[in-house]
């Protein structure tokens, strides 16, 4: 009986370990690789060679990486400033509010800026987004965004922490 | 005697303007009087037009960047560089577009929505409206209506002044005429100039045809699409813009056979084995008098498609998604498109005047097909679009046969010699300085599958909001 319980327990532990495993993700345009937590699902229909979209467990959980192609901003600060001005301005995001001002981050050795902002989506729900802005070699604009319903604090990005720790650029 | 009359006329105009002097405003800068008057007239009518159409619509960022890029590309190829063209989106559900003298262009929110990011159609609309400004249709119509042509022309030469009351009246006349249209010939000219502008700016000229097809379809359903409603007969305009498409193609040039052979060897998209699809999944067998015998390499299945149909020729689309077929129907030939399940998704029936289709070749991007058509005496190469039914004779008056479409252009045989022609170059819209997208999750509605014996029933999905 004891042996059976041990076997069952061992199986449960193995299953738990396996179920928490992240999935390797290679960008279709060969720009980067990373790991995505297993309960985040790749959305093929919304993705394209320049945009990779993942849905999380929550109804609004969203993780996406976008390669914008060439941009003309002199530095990442100007890129962030221009983007946020457009988000905030006419035709931008409804009830835009900058929760956390742009601050420096590093993604696999590439320096960027990150910020947190909230806005109201069409049905009136307030959404928060943590966004990282980067300018890669050849003036390629790049963005990593984690969206959801929770008004996150700086420490509340386990998904992003995991994804960014495994991030590797392929250039 | 003539000199005396001219002097008398000039004196009268000067006298008239001196009388009106207290109410005049002066032209600014280096602009000519005519330009200033045109610009003033257009700008004076803007507030009223915006009011009539529900105010200015604030276009969402990404859409605005795309719209600006299409607009700027068109403005770059305009001839009247002295004008400062600007575009306003009106908050109206109508499907409409306008141009006021001086470069003030307007499209409605309804039109943008209906066009659904089709850059060729948008370029056709904006090109048409820009052409009205380029050719001064609006200003000329107003001056004609008010009988002011001579006064303004003389004023342009000597005075550089304009009475404010005159501008007010002209502005009212302009708005009235705007809804009536600038005249039949002006509309035809705007179609021609607009289409040419769109092609020069790197958009496909087919956009004008597709747009007029939308109007014809709306006419048949009596939908509220007011754009070009005041214009000449839509069918006639469609005929003219289709005819003009051929003129944008290059004149066929002789290609030495050895050079073509080299091109074919080096070409990435020349398919010598036309029987297999580009992914080598399906293979069409030869030799059936009717129907198509297709093999699926993955499931090793033999399928018989369109059993009773006589298929004369076929070609796989570059992605392998469709199979284009030349089908014999009594004395006619038709062009059919079949998907990878053997279902007919579209049938095109070219006019009898083009003759029977003998052979076909897809364009490398898969949006067009070259057809070899024969009337029994001579062959010619016609080009058609998959989504818009047009037939463009591109091989010239001496005809051609055996079309081969490669990245470099369309090759065909005329007598013993090979010739080359190509479509006008197009370039996709790339927003020059984009900003990151802000995405939101989309809910996918899935039906419930209910199995009842041998039948499967799908229930209507219900939307559950979190």
Q: Which of B64, B430, B465 faces A91 most closely, judged by CB atoms?
A: B64
CA distances from B243 to B192, B249, B284, B390, B395 (A): 11, 12, 36, 9, 14
Same domain, B190 and B263: no
Shared domain check, B96 and B232: yes
B446–A contact, CB cutoff 8 A: no
Model pLDDT, residue A24: 92
Report whether A79 contacts B48 (CB < 8 A).
no
Average the pLDDT over each of B7-11, B112-116, B302-306, B411-415 and give the range with the smallest value.
B7-11
Q: Is B336 a domain residue?
A: yes
Q: What is the pLDDT of residue A152?
A: 62
Out of B434, B436, B439, closest to residue A53 by CB: B439
Q: Closest Cα of chain A to B80: distance in Å?
A: 29
* B192 lies in the same domain as B265: no
* Tens-digit pLDDT profile for residues B328-340: 887 789 999 999 8
Give the count of domains, chain B.
2
B187 and B309 together in one domain? no
Q: Looking at beta carbons, which residues of chain A come within 8 Å of B465?
A: 123
pLDDT at B149: 55
pLDDT tens-digit series, residues A5-47? 665 555 545 444 444 567 899 999 899 999 998 889 999 989 9
| Boundaries of domain holding A47 | 23-169
Are A69 and B437 an interchain contact pair (Cβ–Cβ within 8 Å)?
no
- Final residue before a domain boundary, out of B247, B265, B291: B247
Query: Which residues, numbered 1 to 60 in chain B, qualify as contacts with chain A under a Cβ-Cβ cut-off of 8 Å?
Result: 58-60
The answer to whether residue B188 sits within a structural domain is yes
B321 and B393 share a domain? yes
Q: pLDDT per residue over A44-95, tens digit each?
A: 989 999 999 999 888 889 999 999 999 999 999 999 999 999 999 999 999 9
Query: What is the per-residue pLDDT for B139?
Result: 87
Q: Where are the alpha helices (DSSP H) in chain A?
A: 2-19, 76-88, 158-165
More confident residue, B322 or B330: B322
Residue closest to A143 by CA, chosen among A73, A79, A74, A57: A79
Q: Which residues of B touch A66 (CB under 8 A)?
A: 436-437
- CB proximity A53 to B under 8 Å: yes
Residues from chain B that touch A91, judged by Cβ atoms under 8 A, are 58-61, 63-64
- Say if B333 falls within a structural domain: yes
Write down the pLDDT at residue B205: 96
Spacing of C-alpha B257 from chain mean position: 35
Range of the domain at B323: 249-421
Q: Is residue B125 part of a domain?
A: yes
Which pLDDT score, from 0 to 100, does residue A12 have?
47
DSSP labels for A39-89?
TSEE-GGG-BTTEEEEE-SSTT-EEEEEEEEE---SSHHHHHHHHHHHHHS
Look up the CATH number of the domain holding residue A56.
3.40.1000.10
In this structure, are B138 and B286 located in the same domain? no
Residue B300 is predicted with a pLDDT of 84
Give yes or no: residues B305 and B399 share one domain: yes
Sheet holding A32-36, edge to edge: A23-26, A32-36, A168-169
- Indicate if B346 and B377 belong to the same structural domain: yes
Is the pLDDT assigned to residue A150 strictly greater than 90? no
A77 falls within a domain: yes
Could you report the predicted ipTM of this complex, rounded to two decimals? 0.85
Note whether B433 contacts A: Cβ–Cβ < 8 A. yes
Does A110 fall in a domain?
A: yes
Does residue B106 share a domain with residue B240? yes
Tell whether B437 is covered by a domain: no
Is B52 part of a structural domain of the chain? yes
CATH number, domain with residue B368? 2.130.10.10
- Answer yes or no: do B301 and B400 share one domain: yes
Encode pLDDT of A94-146 as tens digits: 999 999 999 999 999 999 999 999 999 988 899 999 999 999 999 999 999 99
Searching chain B, which residue's CA lies closest to the CA of residue A91?
B60
Angle between helices B137-146 and B184-200 (to 10 degrees): 160
Q: What is the DSSP letter of B366?
A: S
pLDDT at residue B15 tops 80: no
- Indicate if the pLDDT at residue B16 is higher than 60: no
pLDDT score of B76: 97
Once rounded to an integer, what is the mean pLDDT over residues B376-383? 92
> Is B430 in Cβ contact with A62 (below 8 Å)?
no
């Amino acid at each position: 009986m004891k042996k059976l319980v041990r076997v069952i327990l061992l199986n449960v532990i193995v299953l738990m370990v396996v179920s928490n495993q992240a999935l390797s993700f290679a960008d279709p345009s060969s720009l980067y690789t990373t790991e995505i937590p297993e309960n985040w699902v790749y959305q093929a229909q919304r993705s394209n060679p320049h945009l990779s979209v993942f849905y999380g467990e929550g109804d609004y959980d969203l993780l996406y990486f976008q390669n914008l192609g060439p941009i003309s901003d002199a530095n990442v600060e100007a890129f962030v400033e221009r983007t946020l001005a457009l988000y905030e301005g006419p035709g931008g995001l409804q009830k835009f509010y900058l929760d956390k001002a742009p601050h420096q981050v590093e993604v696999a050795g590439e320096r960027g800026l990150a910020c947190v902002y909230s806005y109201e989506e069409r049905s009136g729900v307030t959404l928060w987004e943590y966004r990282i802005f980067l300018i890669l070699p050849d003036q390629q604009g790049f963005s990593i965004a984690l969206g959801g319903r929770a008004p996150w604090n700086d420490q509340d990005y386990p998904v992003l922490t995991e994804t960014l720790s495994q991030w590797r650029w392929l250039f | 005697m003539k000199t005396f009359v001219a002097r008398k006329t000039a004196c009268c105009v000067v006298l008239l303007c001196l009388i009106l002097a207290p109410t005049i405003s002066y032209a600014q800068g280096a602009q000519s009087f005519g330009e200033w008057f045109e610009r003033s007239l257009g700008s004076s009518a803007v507030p009223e037009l915006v009011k009539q159409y529900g105010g200015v619509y604030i276009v969402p960022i990404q859409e605005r960047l795309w719209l600006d890029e299409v607009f700027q590309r068109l403005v770059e190829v305009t001839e009247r560089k002295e004008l400062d063209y600007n575009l306003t989106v009106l908050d109206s559900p109508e499907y409409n577009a306008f141009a006021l003298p001086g470069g003030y262009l307007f499209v409605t929110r309804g039109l943008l929505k209906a066009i659904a990011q089709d850059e060729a159609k948008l370029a056709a609309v904006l090109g048409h409206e820009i052409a009205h400004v380029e050719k001064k249709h609006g200003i000329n119509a107003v001056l004609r209506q008010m009988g002011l042509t001579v006064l303004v022309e003389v004023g342009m030469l000597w005075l550089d002044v304009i009475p404010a009351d005159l501008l007010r009246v002209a502005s009212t006349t302009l708005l009235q005429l705007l809804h009536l249209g600038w005249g039949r010939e002006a509309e035809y000219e705007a179609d021609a100039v607009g289409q040419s502008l769109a092609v020069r700016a790197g958009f496909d000229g087919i956009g004008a045809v597709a747009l007029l097809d939308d109007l014809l379809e709306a006419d048949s359903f009596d939908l509220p699409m007011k754009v070009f409603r005041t214009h000449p007969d839509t069918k006639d305009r469609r005929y003219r813009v289709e005819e003009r498409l051929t003129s944008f193609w290059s004149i066929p040039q002789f290609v030495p056979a050895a050079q073509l052979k080299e091109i074919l060897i080096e070409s990435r998209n020349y398919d010598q084995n036309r029987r297999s699809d580009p992914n080598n999944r399906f293979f069409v067998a030869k030799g059936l008098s009717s129907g198509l015998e297709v093999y699926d390499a993955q499931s090793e299945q033999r399928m018989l498609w369109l059993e009773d149909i006589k298929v004369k020729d076929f070609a796989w689309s570059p992605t392998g998604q469709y199979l284009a077929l030349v089908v014999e129907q009594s004395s006619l030939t038709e062009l059919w498109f079949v998907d990878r399940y053997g279902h007919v998704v579209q049938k095109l029936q070219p006019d009898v005047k083009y003759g029977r289709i003998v052979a076909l070749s897809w364009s490398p991007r898969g949006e067009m097909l070259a057809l070899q058509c024969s009337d029994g005496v001579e062959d010619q190469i016609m080009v058609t679009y998959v989504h818009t039914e047009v037939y463009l004779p591109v091989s010239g008056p001496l005809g051609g046969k055996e079309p081969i479409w490669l990245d470099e252009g369309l090759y065909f045989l005329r007598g013993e010699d090979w010739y080359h022609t190509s479509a006008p170059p197009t370039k996709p819209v790339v927003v020059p300085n984009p900003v990151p997208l802000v995405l939101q999750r989309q809910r996918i509605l899935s039906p419930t599958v209910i199995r009842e014996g041998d039948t499967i029933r799908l229930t209507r999905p219900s939307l559950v909001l979190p």
